[in-house]
Chain A
Amino acid sequence: MNHGVAVTILSSGVALAVPLLWAAIGEVINEKAGILNVGIDGVMLTGAFVAALILHDTGSLLLAALVAIPAGALCGLFLSFLYVKRGTDQIVTGLMFNLFIVGVTTALYEKYLTSSERSKSLSEVGIPLLKDIPIIGPALFDQTVLVYIVIVAAIAVAYLLRGTWFGLHLAAIGERPLAGDTAGLDVRRLRSIALVIGCSLVAVGGASIIVTQGGNFQPNITSGQGFIALAIVVLGRFRPGWIAFGALLFGVSTALQYQAQNVSWMASVPVQVWLAFPYIVTIVAVVIAKRAQYPAATAIPYREPGTERS
C-alpha cells in the first residue's frame, strides 16, 4: 500500500467518521442517563431526510444541517414519551420506531425527492499551516467544517457529562435512579432532557451524511450507522474522547471499500468483504467491550417506588 492510498484512506476515514461521531456523542448522553436508544438509526434517518428535503428546497447546506436539530429534538420528545413517560421496553420500542421512520421517510422520499438530481456537498476548508503537515495534515486539517464542529461538540459533551451538575445528575440516575430520586432529582425529567439533547446530536449525524456525501437521500441511507454508533459508545467506554477514536476506527474501516481497487492484494478479495468490514469490526468491538460496562440502569425504565404499572 503506497503512501498516497494511505493518506486517502485516512482522510476519507475522518470524513466518514463524522456522522458516526455525531450519533455516538448524542447516544452517550442518552446512555449516561440510563436510556439505551435502539431507535438511534431512525433518528439519524430522520435527520438525513429533513436535511435532504431542505437542501432540495432551498439549496442551502447550512440550513440542511441545522434543520436536523429540531427534527432530532422532536424524535427525542416522541421517544421520551414512550421510553420515559410510558416506561416501554427500550429495545423493542426503538426497533419499532426505526421501522416507523423507514416507512415514513421511504414514502415521503418516493413522493418528493426521487427527482432530486442535485449533487452538492460541503467543500473542504483547509486550516493554514496545519494542513501542510505530512499525512495527518490532509487527513485532519483539510476537511469540511462539520469535522471541526463535531470535534468541538465532542469536547462540549465531555464537559457537559463530567464538568456540570447536569452531567453528574445524569450519571447518578443512570447508575442508581432510586438513589437519585431519593436525593431529589427528577429522574423522568432528566432522562427526557437527555433524550432531546442526545437525539438532536444524533439527527445532525444523519444530516451530515447528506451534506458531505452528495446531497441525495436514499431509503435506509444510514445503512446501520446508528447501530454502529451504539457499539462505538460502549467501545469508547462512554467517554467522548475515546468515542472519537472509536468513530475514526469505523470511518477508516468504511473507507477501505473505496480504495480496495487501488491496492492489488485488496482488489483480489471479493468487494463484499470490504463492504462488510465495518459491520464485522463492529461485532469485534462489541465482543471486546462487554455489556457489563453499561451504566447499571441502562435500558431499565424507572418507576417511582409504590407506583402501580398502569
Chain B
Amino acid sequence: MNAQAAQAPSGQRPPGALTKAFLGLGRGSALRTVIDIVVAIVVALAILTIFFLILGADPGKAFKGMWEGAVGNNIAFGQTLLVTSPLIFCSLAAAIPFSARIFNIGGEGQLVAGAVGGTAVAFWCAGLPGTLLIILCLLAAIVAGALWSLIAGLLKAYASANEVIVTLMLNFVAALLANYVINGAWRDPIAPQTETLPSGSALPTILGNSGANIGVLIAIAAAIVCAVLLYRTRLGFGIRATGLSPTAARLSGFGTVATILAVFAIAGGAAGLGGGVEVLGNHHALVEGIASNYGFTGIAVALVARLNPIAAVPVAFVFAGITVGANTLPATTGVSASASLIVVAVFVLTLLAMHVIRVAYPEVK
C-alpha cells in the first residue's frame, strides 16, 4: 500500500498541500516539526493543568514547585542529573532494538537484572580496591543485563516468540528476582533493601554537593558509543536495514538471527549498566522498585528522540527534570509524584497522533 500511495499522481494531493509546502509547513519540514512539538508541549501541559484543577491543586504553585525542584538549585539540578542517567540507559535499550523494529519493552527488567549483578559482585569482591571494584561491578551489571535480555532475544530468534509479551513478562520476573536477592543473605535488618554496599564501590561524585555522580557521564559516553554503532558500523547499518525491510536486509546478508541477538545484547547491556549505576551511584544498595518506571519512560525518551541515541541525552534530561520536579508535588499541592507519568505519556501520545513520531510498519499484503 505504501507503494500505491507513492505512485499516486501528484494531481491527487490533498487540498492545501501545495500551500503548506510553499509556506515551509509541508510534512517533514523543520518548521512544521518545531510547531508540532510546541503543540505537543502545550497539550501535555494543558492536560496536566486540567488534572491539577480536578484535584483541587493550584497549577501555578505546582508548576513553580516542579521547576524549582528540577533545576532551582544545585541539589535539585544534581537530582535531575541522577535520574537522567537511568533514563539515557533505558532509552538506548529501546532505541537500538526499535531501529530494527524489534520491540524491547524489557528495559525495566534489564535494569533490575543489571542492578542485581552489580550488587552481587560488589558484595563478593568487597576486598578489592575502589576503582577496580567499580569497574568489575559495572561490567557485571552489563553482563547481567545482556544475559537477561538475551532470554527474550533467543526466544525471538529461535522460537519466533513475540518479544513484546516476553520482555513485559521478564520485567515482572526480574522484580521478583531482585526481591529474592533483597531478602537473601545481604538483607538489611530494617529497610526493604540489601545492606549498604562496600564503601569503595560508590561512584565518584561531580558538581560539588549536588549529589550527582559520574553515572550521567558514563550514560552520555554510552549514548555516543551507541550512536557510532548505529550510524557508522556494519552492524548498525544491518540493524537499521532490518527496521526498514527485514526481507531486504536478510537478502543483503544481514542475518536475522544475528541482528536479533545483537540488538537484545546491546539493549540489555545498556539497561543493565543503568542498573549498576543506580546501585553504585544512587542507592548504594539494591532497593525494592529500583526500576521505578525508568524502563517505560526510557521508551518515551527514545521515541521523542526519534531513536537517535545522541538526541536521547537532552530528551532524557528534560524528562528527568519532569520526574524529579514532580517529586515536589506532594509537598506543594498534595498531588502524587506520579503526575510526571501523565505529562510524559500525553506528550508522546500527542506526538504520535500528529505523526511526528513514527515507527515503520511492515508492508501490507
Contacts and interface: CB of A to CB of B under 8 A. Distances in A.
Interface in A77-112: 81-82, 86, 88-89, 91-93, 95-100, 102-104, 106-111
Interface in A35-49: 38
Interface string B164-184: 111011111100110110000
Given A82-B349, A103-B345, A95 B176 contact: no
Interface residues of B, number: 60
Interface residues of A, number: 59
A268 B331 CA distance: 45
Contact of A279 (B8, B160, B173, B341): B173
Contacts of B349: 82, 93, 96-97, 100
Contacts of A38: 164
A276 interface: yes
Contacts of A98: 296
Interface stretch (B71-79, B308-316, B356-364): B356-364
A231 B171 CA distance: 15
Interface stretch (B119-127, B247-255, B274-282, B297-305): B297-305
A301 to B, nearest CB: 7
| Max chain A Cβ within 10 angstroms of own Cβ: one of B169, B297, B349, B362 | B169
Interface stretch (A130-138, A146-154, A291-299): A291-299
Contact of A99 (B12, B297, B361): B297
Interface in B341-365: 341-342, 344-346, 348-349, 352-353, 355, 357-359, 361-362, 364-365
A28 interface: no
A104 B342 contact: yes
A295 B238 CA distance: 28
Given A96-B300, A100-B341, A223-B172, A106 B336 contact: yes
Q: Is the interface of A mostly helix, strand, loop or mixed?
A: helix
Contacts of B358: 89
A275 B164 CA distance: 21
A178 to B, nearest CB: 7
Interface in B246-294: 293
Contacts of B361: 89, 300-301
A195 to B, nearest CB: 15
A88 B352 contact: yes
Contacts of A91: 103, 105, 164, 359
Interface in B147-175: 155, 159-162, 164-166, 168-173
A306 interface: yes
A53 B236 CA distance: 49
A305 interface: yes
B13 interface: yes
Given A286-B166, A303-B5, A270 B344 contact: no
Contacts of B155: 283, 286-287
Interface string A259-289: 0000000000010100110011011001100
A75 B17 CA distance: 33
Nearest to A94: B164
Interface of A: 38, 81-82, 86, 88-89, 91-93, 95-100, 102-104, 106-111, 176-178, 219, 223-224, 227-228, 230-231, 234, 270, 272, 275-276, 279-280, 282-283, 286-287, 290-292, 296-297, 300-301, 303, 305-310
Interface of B: 1, 4-5, 8, 12-14, 17, 27, 51, 55, 103, 105, 155, 159-162, 164-166, 168-173, 176-177, 179-180, 293, 296-297, 299-300, 303, 334-336, 338-342, 344-346, 348-349, 352-353, 355, 357-359, 361-362, 364-365
18 contacts: A82-B353, A86-B355, A89-B358, A95-B105, A97-B349, A103-B338, A111-B334, A111-B335, A228-B169, A276-B176, A283-B155, A286-B165, A287-B155, A291-B160, A292-B160, A306-B12, A308-B13, A308-B27
